[in-house]
Structure 1
Amino acid sequence: MKYTGYSILFILLFCSSFAYSQSFKNEVGFKSDNDSYLGQGSDRYYTNGLFLYFRHAADQSKLKAGLEKKTYEISVGQMMFNPYSGYAPDPAAQDRPFAGYLYIGGTMNWFYSDESIITASAQIGTTGKNSLGEAGQKLLHKTFGFYDVGGWDYQIKNELAINLSAQYTKLLTRTAGNAVELSFEGYANLGTTFSGAGAGLLFRTGNLNQLFNSAYTHAAIGNNAKTKSLVKREMFFYAKPQLNVVAYDATIEGSIFNNNSPVTFSQKPIVFAQQLGIDYSVDRFTADFGVIFKTKEVKSIARAHQWGSATVAYRFK
């Protein structure tokens, strides 16, 4: 069979449009944080976090010029905090309160063509016994045969949690071969559980997509994409040093409205964090593993701490 120049052009255009129609506009994911992932045998401070989320990309063909992509997210999560151990029955020896935080949240992301990103989110939930932190840790330890838990009788008290957050990300530079890039990230939190702000630099190297198409920024989904991704498969290493100013942390200080929690401390106003990780992403799947190191967060004998974070995501129509 012979193909004219017009027929070949038609086939190429058809294949191109077909490829765009195969983009996945929805994503579900699961994230797990735990200090045991680092194999150090410690079980202190931020000891466990579990998060589920669903993301959806809006129709990009209807977005204004300069706005590359817009996504919506719904998430649920639980965070658990210990003193030096999950078994610390003596309140006088506790160097951080037992605390839990349970929430449901919503997030909107605006991805711009200049590779800047604006993120706004809101969470509503609870701290204290209603957060099910004690029940969750006991179930986790029983399921995996860990030691008995003790000391949650002295956890911070119940409090309604309402938290708002905003983040700004901007690409600073990327090499000509798209193998190395540097970006700025800044955020601000305001709420009854967490209040503060921070800024850092994000370094990535490997097979990289634009920030508006990358798995790192939760932008691997699309809906009538405006701009083609740089690579079909992402695999990169990342590092993010970040300076945080902490104005309030209810998991350390207790309720913002009263002083009825049995064990509380003051928080460190300046906390430095360093995150290192590796990310692998193909059309439907993302897998990410990172390690987070933090300086002291509590004005007590508590030490600096670290944990591992594992994320998996699946995309679909």
Structure 2
Amino acid sequence: MLRFTARATVARFVAAALALGLGAAAVSLPPAPAQADEHGRLTFTEENDGLLPDGRDRHYTQGAMITFLSPSVRPEDVTTRLFDGVASVLPIFQSGAGTQRKFAVTVGQTIFTPTRTHDAVPDPTDRPFAGYLFTGGSLMQDTGGTLLETLEVLGGVVGPDSLARQAQEAFHAVAGFNNQNLDQGYRYQLRNEPGFLVTYERKWRLWQTHVAGFEAEVIPEAGLTAGNVMTYAAAGATVRFGQNLGVDYGMERIRPAAGGSAWFDAARLEHDIGWSLFASLQGRAVAHNIFLDGNSVVNSRSVEKNIGVGDVSAGASVFYRDWAKFDVSFTERSKEFRTQQGADHFGQASLAVRF
């Protein structure tokens, strides 16, 4: 059974979300004309335990990602052949009336540390230092604004070549934090290993209602991820309230995570301004996690992972047309390994701009 601790930080995030949403709702919303979705988008995503008032380096301590989302793929584009090729061998991306396709390119880095980062010899019962530097791409298809399919392939490196130590030390130096013994602790990090992930995910806009100019909806999700970095099955749902919800499926997140996607469809804009308050829940059955299980071939530090892991998230989003979109959220993550002391929590922020 997954357990989550209640924290005063949640109240702060909820209050900030309400202020963001109500402030957007107070703005006059003249109808926006329908437009072809002919622009790409760049999304900058940051996940960090330091984004919270009581934040400190612990476990999943940092994630950064940049994603380029393409304009709508045209039938004559080469990418259409790739979609159709996948559809010919797998029961996904079936074309038909109301389908829209895009692709995305991603580059990012995630960093993991034990609780006591300044020990010259890290606690062997805590999760090891580790980093993952990755890039990749995804195919995304929306069907009628009610179903989003994503097939994503990521590749990169786990270990010293991920530059996790350098990134953390540079951030600490800029922020004025203590780097004492951090380089010594990283001597015990996971060894260099190529890291790959393949993910297929579906999101359904299962239920939506309009009341007094506002919208509410429920978006269930399910997916499978396989690779030497992580292998797990996930299921969850996002509940949203706001205006102009039909343009996306929620805030983009770094996997594994509850809810969200880089998808944005400007052709579904009903007003110039959109906003939402949201809450997400995701449960995962984890078969493999290199950041806990250790390297695949060479010996490295490891801890005994929990098979069942869950995330609870809450936050807010606001955007102006397809020009810019800003999201903030808070996540509470249940214990990922047997000897872990307490659940983890971290904040997320993302900014998407038309490109």
TM-score of the superposed pair, with normalisation by structure 1: 0.86
| Aligned residues between the structures | 294
1:97 aligns with 2:128: yes
Aligned to 2:330: 291
Aligned to 2:167: 136
- Separation (CA, whole Å) in 2 of partners of 1:191 and 1:310: 27
> What is the SS of the residue equivalent to 1:303?
coil
Which residues of structure 1 form unaligned runs of 5+?
Answer: 1-15
Do 1:252 and 1:264's aligned partners in 2 also have CA atoms closer than 8 Å? yes
Do 2:203 and 2:220's aligned partners in 1 also have CA atoms closer than 8 Å? yes
Do 1:83 and 1:94's aligned partners in 2 also have CA atoms closer than 8 Å? no
> What is the SS of the residue equivalent to 1:151?
helix
Q: 1:183 to 1:110 in 2, by over 3 A?
A: same
1:196 aligns with 2:196: no
- Separation (CA, whole Å) in 1 of partners of 2:235 and 2:249: 22
- Separation (CA, whole Å) in 2 of partners of 1:277 and 1:85: 29
List aligned pairs for 1:92-241, cutoff 5 A. Answer: 92=123, 95-113=126-144, 115-148=146-179, 149=182, 150-177=184-211, 179-210=215-246, 217-222=261-266, 225=267, 228-241=268-281
Do 1:89 and 1:151's aligned partners in 2 also have CA atoms closer than 8 Å? yes
Deviation at 1:247, TM superposition (A): 0.8
> What is the SS of the residue equivalent to 2:339?
coil
Q: 1:65 to 1:293 in 2, by over 3 A?
A: same
Pick which of 87-96 and 240-249 moved more: 87-96
Aligned to 2:345: 306
Q: 1:285 to 1:260 in 2, by over 3 A?
A: same
> What is the SS of the residue equivalent to 2:295?
coil
Q: What are the Cα deviations for residues 140-192 of structure 1, in whole angstroms up to 9, with x where unaligned?
A: 11121101124111001111111100110001111133511111111110001
Aligned to 1:86: 117
Q: What are the Cα deviations for residues 44-71 of structure 1, in whole angstroms up to 9, with x where unaligned?
A: 0000111111110224687953343211
1:42 aligns with 2:56: yes
> What is the SS of the residue equivalent to 2:349?
strand
Deviation at 1:29, TM superposition (A): 1.7
- Separation (CA, whole Å) in 1 of partners of 2:187 and 2:315: 36
- Separation (CA, whole Å) in 2 of partners of 1:187 and 1:87: 37
Pick which of 137-146 and 62-71 moved more: 62-71
Do 2:114 and 2:122's aligned partners in 1 also have CA atoms closer than 8 Å? no
Do 2:116 and 2:122's aligned partners in 1 also have CA atoms closer than 8 Å? no
Q: 1:219 to 1:147 in 2, by over 3 A?
A: same
Q: 1:61 to 1:268 in 2, by over 3 A?
A: same
Give the ranges of 4+ consecutive aligned residues of structure 1 lying more than 6 Å apart after TM superposition: none
Do 1:84 and 1:94's aligned partners in 2 also have CA atoms closer than 8 Å? no
- Separation (CA, whole Å) in 1 of partners of 2:249 and 2:307: 35
Deviation at 1:302, TM superposition (A): 3.5
Do 2:114 and 2:123's aligned partners in 1 also have CA atoms closer than 8 Å? no
Aligned to 1:33: 47
Pick which of 152-161 and 60-69 moved more: 60-69
| Residue identity in the other structure for 2:317 | D
- Separation (CA, whole Å) in 1 of partners of 2:250 and 2:232: 27
TM-score of the superposed pair, with normalisation by structure 2: 0.77
> What is the SS of the residue equivalent to 1:20?
coil
Aligned to 1:243: 283
- Separation (CA, whole Å) in 2 of partners of 1:93 and 1:266: 11
Do 1:209 and 1:230's aligned partners in 2 also have CA atoms closer than 8 Å? no
List aligned pairs for 1:10-89, cutoff 5 A. Answer: 20=35, 23-59=37-73, 65-89=96-120
Q: CA RMSD in A?
A: 2.3
- Separation (CA, whole Å) in 1 of partners of 2:34 and 2:269: 12
- Separation (CA, whole Å) in 2 of partners of 1:213 and 1:282: 16
Which residues of structure 2 form unaligned runs of 5+?
Answer: 1-30, 81-94, 252-259
- Separation (CA, whole Å) in 1 of partners of 2:281 and 2:163: 32
- Separation (CA, whole Å) in 1 of partners of 2:69 and 2:59: 30
> What is the SS of the residue equivalent to 2:245?
coil
Q: 1:206 to 1:242 in 2, by over 3 A?
A: same
In our comparison, the structure showing a higher alpha carbon Rg is 1
| Residue identity in the other structure for 1:155 | Q
Q: 1:255 aligns with which of 260, 279, 295?
A: 295
Higher strand share goes to which structure? 1
